[in-house]
């Protein structure tokens, strides 16, 4: 991670009106602090426990930084997730939606939510299937009154991402959702062309991460 890289990414994205989510999973506290010094404010983590440990320390010095949950969420981690994150990008099933609704009611904290769509219909990947997405979005918004602001996807590595981004954009438009979390280090320019509002960039900013993450 260099200051230049972060500053450059931010100015590019500002021009496109997209928000940078700097994916700090598997990255050291030192690199995170450097990114904050370079002006980055939004960070993405994929594990509740890791985020809790790292950010308890970083927040002492930089309370303005905020976190996005970009990894699969388990129901037993929902309470901590609602506490830690300003946005959760990975709502993908009824049990999680229900648990989030319950926890938000209890805590009064309402992080913004994205519904993850498995646009490539990959069995190993999280996300609601495209054919089930419409009903699930309606369920979350109307029945549970969850603060759903947009959709998120991670296209299959072996595909051209453009059709996946286009599909997500169409679904979001059909439901009046304005936010699109799509685009990573390898494909964020394409994602922005298709209307991404949040790009989740890890390695292109920070370099390689700890391989266990």
Q: Rule CB under 6 A: is residue 203 a binding residue for ligand PLP?
A: yes
| 162: three-class secondary structure by DSSP | helix
Give the residue from 167, 165, 169, 191 showing the smallest Cα distance to 178. 169
Instruction: Provide the greatest CA pair distance for the chain.
Output: 46
Q: What x/- string results for residues 74 through 113 when contact with ligand PLP is judged by CB under 6 A?
A: ----------------------------------------
Binding positions for ligand PLP, 161-190, rule CB under 6 A: 184-186
Distance separating alpha carbons of residues 88 and 45, to the nearest angstrom: 10
Q: Rule CB under 6 A: is residue 28 a binding residue for ligand PLP?
A: no
Identify which of residues 100 and 144 has a Cβ nearer to ligand PLP in the complex. Answer: 100
Q: Rule CB under 6 A: is residue 68 a binding residue for ligand PLP?
A: no
Of the candidate residues 10, 19, 34, 46, the single one contacting ligand PLP (CB under 6 A) = 46
Give the shortest CB-158-to-ligand PLP separation in angstroms. 15
Residues 195, 16 contacting (CB under 8 angstroms): no
What residues contact residue 76 under an 8 Å CB cut-off, 6+ apart? none
Backbone angles phi, psi at 210, to 5 degrees: -50, 125
Q: Rule CB under 6 A: is residue 198 a binding residue for ligand PLP?
A: no
Q: Tell me how crowded residue 143 is: count the other CB atoms within 10 A of its CB.
A: 12
**Which spans of this chain sit near ligand PLP (rule: CB under 6 A)?**
23, 25, 46, 70-71, 154, 184-186, 200-204
């Amino acid at each position: 991670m260099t200051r230049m890289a972060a500053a450059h990414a931010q100015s590019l994205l500002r021009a496109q009106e997209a928000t940078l989510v700097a994916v700090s999973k598997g990255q050291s506290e030192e690199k995170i602090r450097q990114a904050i010094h370079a002006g980055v404010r939004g960070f993405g983590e994929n594990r509740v426990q890791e985020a809790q440990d790292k950010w308890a320390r970083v927040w002492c010095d930089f309370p303005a930084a905020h976190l996005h949950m970009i990894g699969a969420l388990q129901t037993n981690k929902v309470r901590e997730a609602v506490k830690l994150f300003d946005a959760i990008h990975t709502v993908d099933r009824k049990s999680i939606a229900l648990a989030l609704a319950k926890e938000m009611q209890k805590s009064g904290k309402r992080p913004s939510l994205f519904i993850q769509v498995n646009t490539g219909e990959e069995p190993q990947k999280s996300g609601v299937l495209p054919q089930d997405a419409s009903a699930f979005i309606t369920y979350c918004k109307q029945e549970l009154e969850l603060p759903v602001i947009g959709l998120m996807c991670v296209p299959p590595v072996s595909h051209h991402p453009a059709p996946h981004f286009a599909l997500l954009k169409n679904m979001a438009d059909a439901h009046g959702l304005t936010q699109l979390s799509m685009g990573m280090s390898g494909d964020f320019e394409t994602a922005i062309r298709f209307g991404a509002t949040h790009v989740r960039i890890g390695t292109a900013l920070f370099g390689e991460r700890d391989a266990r993450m």
